[in-house]
């Protein structure tokens, strides 16, 4: 029985040793590197000015801004917001597989509940504009942060104006 156990253990070790994976002889290139062969040189991922098309950086370059601002107690899209959202919609139509989240924000004035509702209206105003411009509504989600995530911490009109916004967030 002792010889049998030793023989079985040895056989198991040999079987396991034979199952180990060997690394491939040559690894494929990383997604954004250039592949050079003797015959040709090709790029595996097209880039523009170091920015990958369809990325968050590309969105910011093409749209000019990810943020539109609103007047006090308003969720109406003004002419400046229209220009920004039109560029965003054009980019989103160019990359139909990219999803976007529109965040609604408010300044510090008003109750938490009021600002959450106003932030929701602002985010939905931006979403509705994008949808009316031809972006599939299933690709757009909205969230309201109310006054919880200010970009400017002052308690003056300039700070409040910066915080009354909707931000279109494209994943990295």
98 assigned to some structural domain? yes
Count of domains observed in the chain: 1
Is residue 138 classed as helix, strand or coil in its secondary structure? helix
For the stretch 15-73, pLDDT in tens is 666 665 555 556 555 554 444 444 443 444 445 567 788 888 889 988 899 999 999 99
36 assigned to some structural domain? no
Domain at 82, CATH number: 3.30.1330.60
For the stretch 123-146, pLDDT in tens is 999 999 999 999 999 999 999 999
49 assigned to some structural domain? no
Q: Show the DSSP H helices in the chain as ranges.
A: 2-18, 56-63, 79-94, 112-132, 157-163
| Mean pLDDT across 4-12 | 72
Per-residue tokens: 87: 């560029």
Amino acid 26: pLDDT: 61
Amino acid 83: pLDDT: 95
- Return the closest-CA partner of residue 148 out of 122, 123, 121, 111: 111
Per-residue tokens: 38: 């003797």
7 assigned to some structural domain? no
**Residue position matching structure tokens 């991922």:** 45
145 assigned to some structural domain? yes
159 assigned to some structural domain? yes
Whether this prediction's pTM lies above 0.75 is answered by no
| Mean pLDDT across 109-133 | 95
Decide: 163 and 107 in contact? Cβ < 8 Å: yes
10 assigned to some structural domain? no
Per-residue tokens: 97: 């597989």
Domain that holds residue 124: 56-169
46 assigned to some structural domain? no
């Amino acid at each position: 029985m002792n010889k049998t156990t030793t023989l079985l253990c040895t056989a198991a070790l040999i079987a396991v040793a034979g199952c180990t994976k060997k690394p491939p002889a040559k690894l494929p290139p990383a997604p954004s590197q250039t592949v050079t062969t003797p015959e040709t040189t090709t790029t595996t991922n097209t880039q523009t000015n170091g920015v990958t098309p369809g990325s968050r950086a590309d969105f910011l370059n093409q749209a000019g801004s990810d943020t539109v601002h609103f007047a006090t107690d308003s969720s109406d899209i003004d002419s400046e917001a229209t220009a920004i959202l039109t560029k965003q919609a054009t980019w989103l139509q160019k990359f139909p597989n990219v999803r976007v989240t529109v965040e609604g924000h408010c300044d510090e004035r008003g109750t938490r509940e009021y600002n959450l509702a106003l932030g929701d209206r602002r985010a939905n105003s931006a979403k509705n504009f994008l949808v009316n411009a031809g972006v599939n509504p299933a690709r757009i989600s909205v969230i309201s942060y109310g006054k919880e995530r200010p970009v400017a911490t002052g308690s003056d009109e300039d700070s409040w104006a910066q915080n009354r916004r909707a931000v279109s967030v494209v994943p990295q």
